[in-house]
Structure 1
Amino acid sequence: MDIFEKSLQMHYELNGKIEVVSRTNIETSEDLSLAYSPGVAEPCRAIAANYEESFKLTRRSNLVAVVTNGTAVLGLGDIGPAAAMPVMEGKCALFKRFADVDAFPICVDSKDIDEIVETIALISKSFGGINLEDIGAPACFEIEAKLKEKCDIPIFHDDQHGTAIVTAAALINAIKLTGKEMGKLKIVINGAGAAGMAIAKLLMQMNFGEIIMVDRQGILCDNDRSLESTKYEMAKLTNPNKLTGSLADALKGADVLLGVSAPNCVSKEMVASMNEGIVFAMANPVPEIMPEDAIEAGAKIVGTGRSDYPNQINNVLAFPGIFKGALSVRAIEITDLMKEKAAYAIASLISEEDLKPDHIVVSALDHRVADAVAEAVSACAVEEGIARV
């Protein structure tokens, strides 16, 4: 059997990858009275008197909602909320495995932005954080922004920010290895959806260099007033030389290609036209160009989103530690600076001696990652004055 058949069989056998486990034993009548009626009335009264006690007296201090509407599921597109459930369960399992954070899947059957926002906001008092997942662009941008206004807990769209953080971490180390200069890179991002937009914003914030974004129609340029609003706003912030044309035109002389787009859309000729390029072809399951082809064409460092090639750029390096850190100090939000600190924390886990073209980012299974990210995030929250403990 291939990996898809094996996974399907495992899911049938397990009948779901997560379960709720009680943290207290209920064996006697006193146990029952403490965990439920009448004793439970006292923590209820304590919370009614002081809302902040809800984080101390319930599991919400370590509980994240993983929320989707199933409109942009990893490589599958708009398959709906029910079909997205296996991915959400998987995400919850990763939260527990890598950060000991409890997470619960919430699949919302709506494409109406305000309805989704209202639904999540209304249930937010059950959780310490909200991880948005697999929600299509541009709706995901508006949903995240509105939830940040409504909720007093961290809101984090992992497809955007998790991808951006790990990409930045890998790029930090790739720059060290190639001798390219931070701040002077020509970076082409192929794909102007949620991930591409977030990557561009974080790399600009961290001053990596010039950013050029490309979508299916070509290079984003603010001379093109027909662009959808979020793309037009990004075009105003990127492409300072106002290049026009195709992906091939953008890649001539480029230092970096970051692909968050579609399979097999980058040719060897495009890679050969780059300036000893760093190529992160992150489309899943089939990348923009296969790693062996990119290397043959002259790429110096290659990364993908796949686990069967070196340099896997995987969101699991970011989101468990991000939430572990934010929850540990009861942060009210996850800020841009926290994302930057997380990227540097991930990059720092590979020493100068261990840095190699096929080893610029740590394994998703590296036990150090979540704690390193959590420490950076929690310290940053305290520094920024957004920690509540």
Structure 2
Amino acid sequence: MVKRSPLLWAGVALAALTGCGDAPSGIIRVAISTDAPTPVTFEGLTITARRTNKTELSDDFGYDVVTDLPDAYVLSEKELYQGESNADPITVVVEGKKDGQTVIARSAVLRFSERSVVLRMPLCTSCLGKECPLGQTCKQGQCVDPTVDEAGLPEDAAGVALTDPECPDPAPRCTGACGSAGCGPCPQGGTVTAPQGGFSIDATEVTRAAYTSWLATNPHPPESGDADCGLATAYYPDEECLAKSEVCQGAGCEGHPQVCVKWCAADAYCAWAGKRLCGGVDGKFIKTFAPAAEHEWYLACASASSQGYPYGDTYEKTTCNTEGTTTTPAGSLATCAGSVPGLFDMSGNVAEWENACDGSNCGARGGGYGSLSSSKCGDTFPFARNEGYPNVGFRCCDAP
């Protein structure tokens, strides 16, 4: 059923193309669907309608519409009149945009009729990045004539499908936890039980491979008023950050810690995995600079002895990745263990986001590559939670 959405109702109010005649009354409901995961593939829509280059209407839509396709945009023949002949065709163009650039488009040329019809214009992955010559459109990966015979279009009626057989299967969209429908299997990494505090913690930092598997489910947050965490776009690593020379590049990086992700993304990944981002004892939210012994992460790192580093009280240059220039694969340094058997990289490699925040900043603990002696269990540093960093990753905590 056609939905009452920002797209449909803005279309009713804004988009109108008319012809002459006693009472032009044609309606074209432009049905837009996609099999591409949004908003990672495209995060905005531009819909343009024009008649013989005289009357042109254009409307832009953002996240709320793009992440809730399929939807419909209404073109009404009677709301605008510029003196064109009723027989003149109209051109409808739908563009999916990413970072302001068109990444996928579909066009159709047709005429209004006396009927109210549905014009399906799917944005299919087969047409991603496809540029067609002027006067053509992409369909099933090929550039074709965009002319549509309006007589063959279905009547606009309750229950009419908005999707098209050209790409009938919507992209995955996960709104729950791993193991639930559409949300993929749960990660298989090991955990260890902390000797105090009554919780478990991931044996290593979350790797790029594990994080990529989560992103493949097209995760979406629940509705939220949080400007930083309420959009699915917050989950994707910062591209400029990933391109920095200090970040592992190319093949062989899958086992390295996931970096360049915002605090919100770390928190959401842990929730998807059925766990939580390490925070205060018993999983409680805690302030960044609350006493160290109130932080789960610290308790796992320092153990019952409250030692300075996971391996002891004295800094050792080569034990952990604290004097390097980039990350090493998570858990690959057998020497960087201690405190709890089977727990690795609690000093160096990457600092790790905690569920410990003060306003727009959240803490990351343990130091990263190049942090030298500032990689103690008790060393925590505030970072802007809405940014990703090349030396900050995360791991998750859970019940024992």
Give the shorter-chain TM-score range. under 0.3
The normalised TM-score by structure 1 is 0.27
Q: Which has the higher helix share?
A: 1
Larger Rg: 2
Q: Which has the higher strand share?
A: 2
